[in-house]
Amino acid sequence: MSQNTLDPNAPVPSADDLRRQILEKQLAEMERQDKLRDRKREELDKFADDFFHHHVGEQERAVIRNVVSRAVKDGKMEALVYSFPSDFCTDSGRAINSADPDWPQTLQGKAKELYDRFKEVAQPQGYRLKAMVINFPGGVPGDIGFYLNWEPPVS
C-alpha cells in the first residue's frame, strides 16, 4: 500500500481543522516572505554602504575586465559592466531615462567614480559608455546599467 493513500478509517477532519491548516500554511508563507524581504533589505543596505562609502576596488575592476573578455569571446561589441539602483542617482534615474545629455551630473558614489575613470582612461582609447534604465518595477525606473561599447565609430 502506498504512503500517499489516505486511511479510509481515519476520522473526517472538521471544517475548523481544515481552515486552521490553511491559515497555518498562509502564516508560514508570510513569515518566509518577511524573512526574504528582510534579507534583501540587508543586502541592499550593505550594497548602498559600499556604493557610497568605498572606492571601486581591484576585484570590481577585474569583474568588469572579465565581463568584457567574455563578451569579446562571444563576438559582442558591448557588455553590461555595472548596475545599481536608480535611487542612487540624485534624480532617481530620470535624466538617464530621458537621455538628458547632463545625466552624468546625477551620478554619485561608485557610479560617478566609474564614469570618471571611463572618461579618463577608456574613452580616449575609443570606448563608449551608455547608461540606461534596465528594468521598471511597478512602472518606475529600477536599476541603471552601464554598457561599455567598443564598436568602430560610424563614419
Domain definitions of the chain by residue range: 55-149
Q: How far apart are CA 60 and CA 117, in angstroms?
A: 13
Q: How far apart are CA 17 and CA 38, in angstroms?
A: 31
pLDDT band, residue 1 (cuts 50/70/90):
very low
Nearest to 51 by CA among 108, 90, 103: 108
pLDDT by residue (tens digit) across 93-124?
999 999 999 999 999 999 999 999 999 999 99
Extract the C-alpha cell encoding 18.
Answer: 481544515
pTM, whole model, 2 decimals? 0.77
Q: How far apart are CA 133 and CA 83, in angstroms?
A: 9
**Residue 110 contacts residue 101 (beta carbons within 8 Å):** no
